[in-house]
Amino acid sequence: MADFNYDLFTIGAGSGGVRASRMSALKGARVGVAEEHRPGGTCVIRGCVPKKFMVYASSYPKHIKHARQYGWDLPEASQFDWPRFRDSMNAEVDRLSGIYARNLNNTGVDLIEERAEITGPHEILLKESGRRVTAKHILIATGGTPNKDWDLQGVEHTITSNELFHLKKLPEHLVIAGGGYIACEFAQIFAGLGVKVCLVYRRDTVLRGFDEDVRTFVHEALKGSGVRVITHTVFEKIDEHPEKEGFKRVTLANGDELEADQIVFAIGRDPYTKGLGLEKAGVEVEANGAIKVDAYSKTSVDHIYAVGDVTNRVNLTPVAIREGAAFAETVFGQTPTAYDHDDIPSAVFTQPPVGTVGLTEHDARRIHGAVDIYKSKFRPMKGMLTDDPDWMFMKMVVRTEDQRVLGVHIVGDDAPEIIQGVGIAVKAGLTKDQFDATCAVHPTVAEELVTLREKWTPPEAASAAE
């Protein structure tokens, strides 16, 4: 290894890259990390962390309203100070980014705050300084970047989720293109902050890829929170509003016209590999730029690896961290380790939020054939003293032949917290009988998971049996 500047050079200081780099350094490797923006990656800087703070901020009007119905004499939430909240939120992001940098330095990793590009199988160019370094192993952990419809007339009038955390002022009317979790989360965040919000989605129901019952529940919750949802159409063009200064006019393919002072594209994210120089090292990529890797995160080049969203496997921060740790064990721990991507719990921070783990009903039927379905929709105790108690939904997908629980899907307050514990059970392969044998914690909403007794029968099957 003495012929190289580094044993490992990591491109990208997000969660996966930082975990891999620190663990490799602790195992004795000489490690360098290049980051063109600042340490922390999508999650800390422009994703999960600041977005969750925004969810908290947007939920206070409802909490205040409910507190009054619980006997507290509080004024209505009538004014929101966006600059004060925004600056406080971004100060916390800065603090967390600093922790990432300190953790790298404390383990002896060289943090280089420049863009890095691969110029050969073992060579990396640092763009700002023009310095070239060599490494025996290269790890690519550059994450993803928001996608836009660059062919759209007027696309220059749009922003992405990256810019939403830094708006100078709250918009009056926000139009969002997209129906995935990012679009849905931000739609309800800004609606909760008092913004008029319209979401435009080309399909019939939001959250493609999630369980159908979850999709329907969230779709209705969006409308219930004041978001206007327009489906089965897309943007056709955007231009300056002819009468309202600072506003744009959005023309949809269905002929509708919308006016907005902020327009957001939330139509997905692409692996951030453009201009990285992968072809110079012989690294193979998919059509969308995702780096092809094997179970051990190794690319088509033996000494080059990739982890996290840049591989487009499961695009979640905790997954990137696990992949980074597995890489360090494989390459510098002499213990080949492949991370298991099955039964990964995840959450969507809509309002109410979603918690899910395992297979959807559709995928379970496709893979396993006969399944038993258990569902429950109810109003939690917390809301019963209010004039608008929320609904909660729970669903369990069970393989008929051996009663193994294949999937659990929850929509409602605390669903992300609950699904973390349930994820352990699903990952462990527990059965419905084992869920049923677990004593309920009362009174909680989570107790519903161990008291589901009645199988759900599809309407067509019920009709056939009559």
Q: Return the active site residues.
A: 442
Paired sense of beta strands 257-260 and 123-126, if any: unpaired
Closest C-alpha to 433, from 418, 450, 421: 450
Closest C-alpha to 188, from 318, 348, 22: 348
Closest C-alpha to 303, from 126, 135, 143: 135
Hey, is 69 helix, strand or coil? Answer: helix
Distance CA 83, CA 81 (A): 6
Hey, is 266 helix, strand or coil? Answer: coil
The per-residue DSSP string of 422-445 comes to HHHHHHTT-BHHHHHTSPPPSS-S
Query: Any idea which residue has 């602790």 for tokens?
Result: 26
Closest C-alpha to 368, from 341, 345, 399: 399
Q: Is there a cis peptide before residue 443, judged by omega within 30 degrees of 0?
A: yes
Distance CA 194, CA 284 (A): 47
DSSP bridge pairs for 397: 373, 407
Distance CA 102, CA 303 (A): 27
CA dihedral angle for residue 328, residue 324, residue 163, residue 125, rounded to 10 degrees: 40
Residue 237, Cβ neighbours under 10 Å: how many?
13
Closest C-alpha to 262, from 191, 197, 192, 215: 197
Distance CA 441, CA 150 (A): 52
Q: Is there a cis peptide before residue 352, judged by omega within 30 degrees of 0?
A: yes
Tell me the two tokens of residue 89: 């939120």
- Identify the DSSP state of 153: B
Q: Angle at CA 98, nearest 5°, toward 323 and 48?
A: 55
Tell me the two tokens of residue 206: 């939001």
CA 94 to chain centre: 20
Closest C-alpha to 357, from 411, 308, 406: 406
